[in-house]
Structure 1
Amino acid sequence: MSLANHLEELQRKHGDIERELVMAMNHPSVDDLEIASLKRRKLAIKDEIEKLKGKVTTH
């Protein structure tokens, strides 16, 4: 998988988690631990996206 394709896939996953997070936050039965887990996953993907963007711009 090329770097650009990997970056696109991560951005898609980030969007998917964002939508899942919004749904979870609007649903009263979802606990805080699940929301925190989604936020951590989203942040980890964002960090990886930023790291890859740095590699794309330096190559």
Structure 2
Amino acid sequence: MSLNAHLETLKKKHTSLSEAVEQAQRAPGADAMEVAAMKKQKLRLKEQITRLSD
């Protein structure tokens, strides 16, 4: 897999996770621990994207 293809895959995962976090936060009775875990995963993806882009 080329670097560009890998970056695109990471960006798609980040976007998908971002949407999942927003949806979970809007849902009544959302599990705060699950939302926090998704946010951490999203941050790790963002850091990886930034590292590979530089």
For Structure 1 versus Structure 2, the TM-score category normalised by the shorter chain is: over 0.9
- Residue of structure 2 equivalent to 1:45: 45
Partner of 1:21: 21
Unpaired stretches in structure 2, ≥5 consecutive residues: none
Aligned-partner SS, 1:28: coil
Q: CA deviation at 1:30?
A: 1.4
Q: What is residue 12 of structure 1 aligned with on the other side?
A: 12
TM-score normalised to structure 1 length: 0.88
Please identify runs of 4+ aligned residues in structure 1 that moved more than 6 A: none
Deviations 1:8-38 (A, max 9, x none): 0000000000000000000012111011001
Q: TM-score, normalised by structure 2?
A: 0.96
Residues of 2 paired with 1:37 and 1:28: CA distance?
18
Partner of 1:31: 31
For the pair shown, the structure with the greater C-alpha radius of gyration is: 1
